[in-house]
């Protein structure tokens, strides 16, 4: 029989009230509380806390406190990734961020999703879909990235956008729902 965590990580409906998942979220909250309360000059302590929290952590990652996530262990951050203040990553599924990607303040990354049927929602079960963000991506402040989305490398997402579907490489995309506005790069530029 599969555990609720195994179901969660495979994208199946799962029970988030499962004892193991509750314990892992509490651990993440404790680490986040310490990280978010840390002082600017405590860089070694911040790095230690992030190393305990984040599943895969590249060099020179900078997360401005406060930062929030569900588990942390399902997040993979490449080198030189930057998150500005008040970002949230609901990582019930894998969140992969490529090197040198930047996130404005209050960016929300949601892998968590719920059934569309009210009857199914009443069961309390939820699911997750992974999010992949390529290298050298810039996501403007207050953007929301929805479950299952992939954002291609070198793309820019405008502030306040709601990204509900995949965005290709090398484009500027914005709006609600987010759509490609223009190409930033063509293969000739690469």
Burial class (CB in 10 A: 0-12, 13-18, 19+), 117: exposed
Find the radius of gyration of the CA atoms of the chain: 17
Bond before 24 cis per omega within 30 degrees: no
Question: Quick one: which of 97, 68, 105, 55 has its CA closest to 80?
Answer: 97
Q: Is 114 labeled as catalytic in the residue annotation?
A: yes
The DSSP bridge partners found for residue 15 are 125
Calpha distance 186→154 (Å, rounded): 11
Rounded Cα distance, 53 and 91, in Å: 12
Q: Please identify which of the residues 26, 60, 114, 121 carries the catalytic annotation.
A: 114
Nearest by Cα to 179 from 190, 155, 160, 163 = 163
Tokens read off for 190: 């690469």
Q: How many CA atoms lie within 13 A of 22 on its CB side?
A: 4
Rounded-to-10 torsion of CA 50, 45, 24, 164: -30
Which residues are known to be catalytic? Answer: 114
């Amino acid at each position: 029989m599969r555990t609720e965590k195994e179901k969660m990580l495979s994208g199946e409906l799962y029970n988030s009230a499962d004892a193991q998942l509750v314990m892992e979220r509490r651990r993440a909250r404790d680490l986040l509380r310490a990280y978010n309360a840390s002082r600017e000059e405590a860089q070694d302590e911040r790095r230690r806390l992030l190393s305990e929290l984040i599943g895969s952590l590249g060099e020179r990652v900078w997360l401005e406190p406060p930062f929030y996530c569900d588990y942390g262990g399902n997040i993979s951050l490449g080198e030189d990734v930057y998150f500005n203040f008040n970002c949230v990553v609901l990582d019930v599924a894998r969140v992969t961020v490529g090197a040198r990607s930047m996130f404005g303040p209050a960016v929300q990354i949601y892998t968590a999703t719920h059934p569309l049927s009210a009857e199914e929602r009443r069961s309390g079960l939820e699911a997750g879909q992974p999010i992949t963000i390529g290298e050298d991506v810039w996501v403007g402040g207050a953007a929301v990235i929805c479950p299952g989305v992939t954002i291609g490398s070198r793309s820019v997402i405008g502030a306040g956008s709601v990204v509900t579907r995949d965005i290709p490489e090398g484009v500027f995309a914005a709006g609600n729902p987010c759509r490609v506005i223009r190409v930033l790069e063509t293969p000739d530029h690469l």
